[in-house]
Structure 1
């Protein structure tokens, strides 16, 4: 008796499969960057005609993106893990103010860096404890920390701007290596470390598992509470690093610094493909999101456009990015495939 041969399953093209979704998204973000550059060329041909200005402008954009980029790396991990951190801007401010007190500056650059990182990690751990073991909703816990950290920073600084007198710290913003600003190197190191941590370690795989399905992750043996606490500590670490970078740029620190950085980081992560519900995201996508926003800011600056119009454009981009998450490329292709079958049968 002959058995019927099963028909081979249709082979899905790489560019239309789930495996290439990240590649397609990143290529789309690169396309957005190309469009923004083209707009700059059209609106200010006098500037873009100078190769020297173009080179300097590229590094200006990267320096502008460096601080928010470091914060976004930590935010990406938190969102992939199913959380949210509204306190990152306040953490940067608190770490910056604490590291620029006269007592801290007396210990030199090493003492300032150690203080900023310790404060950032410490506040992140408090967030993690409140969320993991206190069972507070991440939105509420980090919102409360936003207010508390800003208040503590204002109390420590007596609502005054604290000047950084340490030349080593201040030179971080102006120093260059092989013609590339040191701030860009710091961003590159943090992004590379974040990429390795997310894609090549057990910690990264557990982050995706916890964000995708916490209960399944718990049943698989993952300590979800501990891991969540570590995610917020990682976000605080990035905030501490960003505090030193921002202090170096301004040669000072104050309680109002890094205002709305949490929104910039969340927006960059979203347009980079990180799901707000958790379980998916990429460090490279988030970096491209940061660079896109920095390019928009630069584009509006060279054209003398208002900050209000810039914020409206950013808001529109965020809305479009969320809509793209809801109606992904695969859903669109399935829609057209289904309609083509209906047309063929009729």
Structure 2
């Protein structure tokens, strides 16, 4: 179970952020590329030199800022540019991955900042810090979604944007903030991935958008927006990672795993639609 939790921690953090975006009626296909770009930018020789001279928090801040900037660009183009989320995030996926390759020179950048690795690869009371970070993010996400005005506005915007606007919610600003939130989650995930692999590379985050969306959908969040839970997403992440672990233990290749994951998403959405149809009166 601890192995599953450790493997779930990175994609779990991304999935929490993705939950907010999908509940708000959006979608993001660029999370994997943003993670790659954040990991590369935070592990350049210049950034690591600054971290050695000052504190490893410089690397964390860099990754978070890169993630937030990418999320802000997505949010502004979608909310204020009135562009489809699918197109914008697809473009970001290509651009961020390409920029990561340019910065890294298509090479793997080894993380050599000892205190950074010691902190994130360590454990507290026998529990890996990566798992603790995932748990803290999940708790924070639950509180924000269920106990704050931001969470209520997210549900309102995803359920009916026009009604939310008439109720006095700045829908465009809120949509932008949702993508910035997901960008921050991607930045944090990049930090966790750098610590786990001791490297920053443009290949990080491959197919993470598929895994995150699958976990969110399996957890019961409607792809059309307006309904979803953080607890469901956490359960979806654990289910999905357990299945991935089973596939790996049975020596299934990554292509077969991708086909299986795609089928799981389709089945989950079909079940959602049937349940929604049954719950609709009349």
Equivalent residue, structure 2, for 1:321: 268
Equivalent residue, structure 2, for 1:187: 134
Using the size of structure 2 for normalisation, the TM-score is 0.95
For 2:184, what is the secondary structure of its paired residue?
helix
Equivalent residue, structure 1, for 2:177: 230
Distance 1:308 1:153, change over 3 A: closer
Q: CA deviation at 1:173?
A: 4.8
**Of 280, 301, 311, the match for 2:248:** 301
**Of 32, 35, 44, the match for 1:92:** 35
Q: Distance in 2 between matches of 1:333 and 1:203?
A: 27
Residues 109-188 of structure 1: matches in 2 within 5 Å?
A: 109-188=56-135
Equivalent residue, structure 1, for 2:2: 59
**Of 126, 139, 148, the match for 1:201:** 148
Q: Distance in 2 between matches of 1:280 and 1:72?
A: 15
Equivalent residue, structure 1, for 2:49: 106
Q: CA deviation at 1:59?
A: 1.1
For 1:310, what is the secondary structure of its paired residue?
helix
**Of 261, 266, 289, the match for 2:213:** 266
Using the size of structure 1 for normalisation, the TM-score is 0.77
Give unpaired runs (5+ residues) of structure 1: 1-57, 336-346
Q: CA RMSD in A?
A: 1.7
Residues 2-17 of structure 1: matches in 2 within 5 Å?
A: none
The structure, 1 or 2, with the larger RCO (C-alpha pairs under 8 Å, 6+ apart) is 2
Larger Rg: 1
Give unpaired runs (5+ residues) of structure 2: none
Q: CA deviation at 1:321?
A: 0.8
Q: Distance in 2 between matches of 1:312 and 1:72?
A: 20
